[in-house]
Structure 1
Amino acid sequence: MPLPLWILTGPTASGKTELGLKISNNTGMEIISADSMLVYRGMDIGTEKPSPDVRNKIPHHLIDIVDPWEEYSVGQYVKDFEAVTQSLRQQGKQFIVVGGTALYLKAIMDGLFEGPPADWEYRNSLKTIAGEKGPHYLHALLSEIDPETAGKLHFNDQKRIIRALEVFKTTKQRISSFQTQFGHKNPKYDCNLVAIEYERDALYKRIETRVDRMFARGLLDEVRGLVSNPLGLSRQASQALGYKEIMDFFNGKYTFSEVTREIKQRTRRFAKRQMTWFRSFSNIHWIHAGTENDTTNLSEQFLAWYTTAKRPYQQK
């Protein structure tokens, strides 16, 4: 029988961390992170990672588990996630998954397609081609070899288009042929997913406030310390939102005011992409924020939903 899984998600700056803490205080549930950047030690300010004091009071899992120079994949996350959930269940502990990395959530809910490893030389060559000929060109290439996958992807979804082309180059098979089990419900879990939704202007204001707060807390010094380490940053960590732009700032690409605007703009775009992902999930329950700071209302909505959703499991 699938095990019930409670998930709280939402776009960046929607207050998932704060809301998760409030829910934990009300329910006693421990927190499992579903954030691809919280796994890295030392990347604290730019990710608004819960403080050690907070984590001492409320147990958090899958935070600070790898060094920033190490690679960490969604496949490894799924393995770590399953180990943590199994341990917590054996101890009789309740937990909630909190995070906004859509690929992690999809892998939990729908299972994971584990294709061939990345071919970075080929990926970079495709990125160069896209830069020269435009994104439509790669989408047209994919349409010739895998029209099913191409039909599901927007031409601007370069990351997934490149991955599909890479899989075909490596295996001589379409990525869609490998994904027959991906996109179906994971038989291990009965997922109950709730997502936070703000009006666009309110969310954008929260994003601007968050970015300003990160700079005030010392984001520049945090990134300076990370890049000064001889081991550097892994490919994934170096692409983290905010960190990448500040590294460009250190290299002279931006002035300080420009990098601040750039991070805010890219964060808004990222939040928009997240919402597109979340709306594609089935059986999702939305809780709606009415103001820019609405944690009390959101927690009440979540607890009302949680109480109702939990009843079928209690009756079994």
Structure 2
Amino acid sequence: MPTKVLSIVGPTGVGKSNLALWLARQYKDLGRVIEIISMDSALVYKGMDIGTAKPSKAEQAEVAHHLIDVLDPSQNYSAAQFASDAKELISDIKQRGNIPLIVGGTMLYWRAWVYGFSNLPAANPEVRAQLDREAAEIGWPAMHAKLAILDPASAKRLQPNDSQRVQRALEVFALTGRPLSDLFEETPSLAGRKQEPTPDWVEVISLEPFDRKTLHTRLEQRFDQMLESKFIEEVEQLLNRGDLHTNLPAIRSVGYRQVWEYLAGDIDFETMKEKAYAATRQLSKRQMTWLRAMDRRVFDPFDTKQMDLAQKQCLALLQ
């Protein structure tokens, strides 16, 4: 049983799940069992399979996956909840004599798991409901303008239509009377700048393309494949439920929000595709920003020799 917990990270669309499944199959041949803990903010939601590139039912049957299909899209899931769930799962997996493997690209979840959120308040349903009511009246751009007065640093790094993060920043200010940016400065591991060294109980394998253009091309191709795999029909089922809306974290997921806007008649098909391409590129850029501030072992997922080295490194770390 390895003493350290291995995590496979990287931006969206680089093959993290494929590497994890390869490892699990290698260890199965050796009589050992790997259980995968998904670190993805969208995979937790039921009924969101195509647009999240969720592991297939066959893959999930072959290798145990955790934190997939655990919530309805109407519900919220936080970094703090992931940290708690991951720690409990790791303990349970080790007690079974198996090997836990953290896999995903939601880097805020990773930092919450590794470093914690000791100085950030928990989500407050009443405050969030009040902010939602206010946003319904004046709109999220106006809420962003309000944040610019209360917490200029946070407002500068957030887009006016990023309702989830704008809401969280306003919520933290309402609960603490202090800007979220100040609390981030007090927790270097969450600031996205100077990071604490990775603790000695965790190892990080990061799949990061050396050629960003290649990644962007592949992300566009992957989205086109999703459309061919009836992604629009998947989003249409969510829209037709009648109880979901674009302020929910699930529906704000990359791809889902753009297809939702298309189905609602707000944009045409080609605009939807271009907006989805752009949103996916922006997501990968944010993920790379987080990753560059981490201690990790980096491999290019689009280079065969590099991936051979990544596989060997993973096997060595799990000995």
TM-score past 0.5 threshold = yes
Q: Tell me how far apart the structure 1 counterparts of residues 143 and 122 of structure 2 sit (CA, whole Å).
A: 27
Q: Tell me how far apart the structure 2 counterparts of residues 177 and 219 of structure 1 sit (CA, whole Å).
A: 39
Q: Tell me how far apart the structure 1 counterparts of residues 308 and 203 of structure 2 sit (CA, whole Å).
A: 17
Q: 1:269-291: per-residue Cα shift (whole Å, max 9, x none)?
A: 1111110111122x2111123x4
Q: 1:21-56: per-residue Cα shift (whole Å, max 9, x none)?
A: 112222342211000110111100000100111111
Q: Which one-letter code corresponds to 2:7 in the other structure? A: I
1:16 aligns with 2:8: no
Q: Which one-letter code corresponds to 1:261 in the other structure? A: E
- Give the match for residue 155 of structure 1: 156
Gaps of 5+ in 1: 144-149
Could you tell me how far 1:216 is from its partner in structure 2?
0.6
Are the counterparts in 2 of residues 197 and 287 from structure 1 also a CA contact under 8 Å?
yes
SS at match of 1:71: coil
1:221 aligns with 2:223: no
- Give the match for residue 57 of structure 1: 62
Among candidates 99, 104, 123, match of residue 117 of structure 1: 123
Could you tell me how far 1:173 is from its partner in structure 2?
3.8
Are the counterparts in 2 of residues 111 and 181 from structure 1 also a CA contact under 8 Å?
no
Are the counterparts in 1 of residues 8 and 204 from structure 2 also a CA contact under 8 Å?
yes
- Give the match for residue 192 of structure 1: 203
Q: Tell me how far apart the structure 2 counterparts of residues 237 and 258 of structure 1 sit (CA, whole Å).
A: 21
1:142 aligns with 2:151: yes
Identity %: 30
Give the direction of change, closer, same or farther, for the CA distance of 1:163–1:69 in structure 2 (3 Å limit).
Answer: closer
- Give the match for residue 305 of structure 1: 313
SS at match of 1:238: coil
- Scaled by the length of structure 1, the TM-score of the pair is 0.81
- Give the match for residue 146 of structure 1: none
Gaps of 5+ in 2: 29-33, 190-194
- Give the match for residue 84 of structure 1: 89
Could you tell me how far 1:84 is from its partner in structure 2?
1.2
Among candidates 220, 229, 234, match of residue 208 of structure 1: 220
Could you tell me how far 1:297 is from its partner in structure 2?
3.8
Q: 1:46-83: per-residue Cα shift (whole Å, max 9, x none)?
A: 00100111111111111111112222222222222122
1:126-141 aligned at under 5 Å gives the runs 131=141, 138-139=147-148, 141=150
Give the direction of change, closer, same or farther, for the CA distance of 1:187–1:12 in structure 2 (3 Å limit).
Answer: closer
Give the direction of change, closer, same or farther, for the CA distance of 1:231–1:55 in structure 2 (3 Å limit).
Answer: same
Could you tell me how far 1:240 is from its partner in structure 2?
1.0
Aligned-residue RMSD, C-alpha: 3.2
- Scaled by the length of structure 2, the TM-score of the pair is 0.80
- Give the match for residue 273 of structure 2: 260
Range moving further from structure 2, 157-166 or 270-279: 157-166
1:288 aligns with 2:300: yes
SS at match of 1:237: coil
Could you tell me how far 1:309 is from its partner in structure 2?
4.2
Q: Tell me how far apart the structure 2 counterparts of residues 223 and 130 of structure 1 sit (CA, whole Å).
A: 23
SS at match of 2:8: strand
Aligned residues: 296
- Give the match for residue 4 of structure 2: 4
Q: Tell me how far apart the structure 1 counterparts of residues 72 and 243 of structure 2 sit (CA, whole Å).
A: 10
1:247 aligns with 2:253: no
Q: Tell me how far apart the structure 1 counterparts of residues 183 and 18 of structure 2 sit (CA, whole Å).
A: 41
Could you tell me how far 1:112 is from its partner in structure 2?
2.3
